[in-house]
Structure 1
Amino acid sequence: MIIAPLGENRALCYDKFFPSPFRPSSKRYEVVIGVGGNLGEVPRSLQGLFRALQKAKRVDIISTSPLYYNPAFGYTEQAPFYNATMRLGWSGGYGEFFAYTSYLERRFGRPRKRAFKNAPRSLDIDILFFDGMKIKTPSLTIPHPCWAERDFVLIPLMLDS
Structure 2
Amino acid sequence: MRDTVTAYVALGANLGDAAAALKRAVEALGQLPLTRVSRASSLYKTAPLDTDSASESSAPGDDYLNAVVALQTGLTAPALLDALQALELQAGRERPYRNAPRTLDLDLLLYGSARMESARLTVPHPRMMQRAFVLVPLAEIAPDAVNTEALDAVRHQAIERLGDSGV
TM-score by length of 2: 0.76
The aligned counterpart of 2:22 is: 46
Relative to total residues, which structure has the larger helix share, 1 or 2?
Answer: 2
Q: Find the aligned partners of 2:84 and 2:49 in 1 and give their Cα distance.
A: 21
C-alpha RMSD of the superposition: 1.5
Q: Which runs of 5+ in 1 are unaligned?
A: 1-24
TM-score by length of 1: 0.79
Deviation per CA, 1:91-111, whole angstroms, max 9, x where unpaired?
A: 121111111111010011102
The aligned counterpart of 2:72 is: 89
The aligned counterpart of 2:125 is: 144
* Aligned residue among 61, 64, 72 for 2:37: 61
Q: What are the equivalent positions in structure 2 for 1:2-151 lying under 5 Å apart?
A: 27-74=3-50, 75-111=58-94, 114-151=95-132
Q: Find the aligned partners of 1:76 and 1:97 in 2 and give their Cα distance.
A: 28
Q: Contact 2:35 / 2:75 at 8 angstroms: preserved in 1?
A: no
The secondary structure found in structure 2 opposite 1:98 is helix
Q: Which runs of 5+ in 2 are unaligned?
A: 51-57, 143-167
Q: Contact 2:40 / 2:67 at 8 angstroms: preserved in 1?
A: yes
Q: Percent identity?
A: 27
The secondary structure found in structure 1 opposite 2:49 is coil
Q: Contact 2:60 / 2:100 at 8 angstroms: preserved in 1?
A: no
Q: Find the aligned partners of 2:137 and 2:11 in 1 and give their Cα distance.
A: 10
Q: Find the aligned partners of 1:142 and 1:135 in 2 and give their Cα distance.
A: 5
